Structure 1
Amino acid sequence: MTRSGDDLSQGMSALVTGGSRGLGLLIAGQLAGRGCEVTILARDAEELGRAMGWTHRRTGRTVRAVVCDVRDEGAVTAAVDEAAATHGGLDVVIANAGVIQVAPAETAGSRAFHDAMATIFDGTLYTCLAALPHLRRSPHGGRLGLIGSVGALVSPPHLVPYSCAKAAVRALGEGLQAEFGGQAEEEYAWFSTLSGTPVLSMDAERAAEKVVQAVERRRTRAVLTPAARLASLAHGVAPTATTRATGLAARTLPHPPADDQPHPLRQGHALGSPRTPWRRALNKAGRALNDRAAHRYNQRTPGPPTSA
């Protein structure tokens, strides 16, 4: 990859929330591979331990791991300040922590919306507010990356809590860019990506690399997939038609239970097989792909992840 004077380099310090698995783990690996001193935050200590081993096997470098629930503002502030003190400052911060609940809104209930906002938006907000003073002091020009989603532009059926929270992240990113854009030491990057959605996605390795490249190049916004670009364009040109199209898509998805009560959401790997034969076939194929990725990128408990 062609390097420029603004590229991330040896000795720069970085922090990634939700860095113990999935896209966050891959972003941390990309940063470590570029020579950054990396701190990863996540709630699960055991998962963080596996992530440290994964990163060392992948890059030959050791990352710091800090147990932190991004829904707790005090814990986030303490973790960010500790990382800055350990490394003599912070140069790059990626707010990646998130959660996806897949269910009709009436089935998920209001709790799912509160949980999505607490993890996705509040976690991002707390990270931004804690990081800004340190990033302003970075001699390399601080860089802040917020991981968004096409769901912030078009709300897919059965992903409404997620989309609401990502829309708030989008507004936060655009607001920060408007306030601080144009100042080299206070540039902010906002990313729109399908990488975390269960509907349309791109290779996680490639997504992580593109996110880090966008941070390196100080891009204001990076839309990673053709589907996301198409959705953004469609919603901008014909928002009513786009909403109707998502409504038609919703008709192909399972209907909520008939008891009109919110139901607890469960992890995807804990669910049984669908009753309909064609859905069972899709489920089996999808699970095979997802299980391989989940094991590879530390999203499953049994055994340590394997390096790709």
Structure 2
Amino acid sequence: MAHFADNRQRTLPSTPTFRLDGKKALVTGGSRGIGFAAALALAEAGAEVTIAARDAAQLQNAVTDAAGAGLTLHSLVLDITATSVAEEVLSTLPAQDILVNSAGLARHQPFVEVTPENYDAVMAVNLRATFFVSQYIARGMRETGRGGSIIHISSQMGHVGGELRSVYCASKFALEGLTRAMATELGTDGIRVNTVCPTFIRTELSRDSLADPAFHQHVMRSIKLGRLGEPEDIMGPVVFLASPAAALITGTSLLVDGGWTAT
């Protein structure tokens, strides 16, 4: 029997890039902690990154520290809770391709002791400000026709409950719902919307909670990998979700929780 070679060229899939060259990115809460780490990662991947925060001195320190590592960050003094003023400030930026909403607030109290002031403060940052910053940036993404990636830094506490964290959990569960609604509406514009949900990361935000020995032991028992998270643990997931490697991922959560929610 004769055998004939198949001369047709085989087309192989090509690995998508994780590079972000030519992309513009805005990171709120970008002067410290997870936000700063995310900004460094995006810049290292090639994006032009602007970090936004209220404290001008902290922003300058972050820019200087990044420069020491050979990375360029631009700073933007911004109070995201002052909605109308924030929109004016954001209008000074060109359209962005990537938005990382990392600004966050936690005020932990027993449920029956939560004050209206603390409730309003947490919701103002974690939900309301995130909503309207995203709205403004999404408009710019839509106008360019280039699409984009919006990444909310949520929490494992957007998927499980926690003692003393009723308001924080409520804000993060709401953020998870907002993410799905945004993804549903913005998908036809090529705008992807996802959350990164860390466990307890060793940052200023978690320092006071983790200083309690009993709570620290509880955390270590709950994280199946047996260690606290570090800001570096969030850098890869943020770059991934921002990049073409995540081109078909929207409306979902990337849990970076060391297995906390596995059981």
TM-score by length of structure 2 reads 0.77
Contact 1:153–1:167 under 8 Å retained in 2: yes
Q: Which residue of 1 aligns with 2:194?
A: 189
Q: Which residue of 2 aligns with 1:148?
A: 154
Q: What is the deviation of 1:139?
A: 5.6
Q: Which residue of 2 aligns with 1:168?
A: 174
Change (3 A) 1:227 1:75: farther
Contact 1:101–1:112 under 8 Å retained in 2: yes
Q: Percent identity?
A: 24
Matched, 1:225 2:260: no
Residues in 1 aligned to 2:38 and 2:115: alpha-carbon distance in whole angstroms: 32
Q: What is the deviation of 1:115?
A: 0.6
Matched, 1:53 2:83: no
Consecutive unaligned residues of structure 1, counting only runs of 5 or more, are: 235-308
Consecutive unaligned residues of structure 2, counting only runs of 5 or more, are: 1-13, 210-218
- Cα RMSD (Å): 2.2
Contact 1:189–1:215 under 8 Å retained in 2: no
Change (3 A) 1:3 1:45: farther
1:242-257 maps to which residues of 2 (within 5 A)?
none
Residues in 1 aligned to 2:15 and 2:77: alpha-carbon distance in whole angstroms: 33
Query: How far does the alpha carbon of each residue in 1:136-177 deviate from its partner, in whole angstroms, 9 at most, with x for none?
Result: 244643111111112122220011111111111111101111
Within the candidate set 37, 42, 50, 1:39 is matched to 50
Name the SS for the 1:189 alignment partner. strand
1:69-84 maps to which residues of 2 (within 5 A)?
69-84=79-94
1:1-308 maps to which residues of 2 (within 5 A)?
4-5=16-17, 7-58=18-69, 60-84=70-94, 89-138=95-144, 140-181=146-187, 183=188, 185-195=190-200, 199=219, 201-216=228-243, 217-218=246-247, 219-220=249-250, 221=252, 222-230=254-262, 234=263
Q: Which residue of 1 aligns with 2:9?
A: none
Q: Which residue of 2 aligns with 1:286?
A: none
Contact 1:23–1:195 under 8 Å retained in 2: no
Contact 1:39–1:83 under 8 Å retained in 2: no
Larger Rg: 2
Residues in 2 aligned to 1:80 and 1:185: alpha-carbon distance in whole angstroms: 21
Write the letter of the residue equivalent to 2:115.
Answer: G
Residues in 1 aligned to 2:42 and 2:168: alpha-carbon distance in whole angstroms: 27
Contact 1:174–1:190 under 8 Å retained in 2: no
TM-score by length of structure 1 reads 0.67
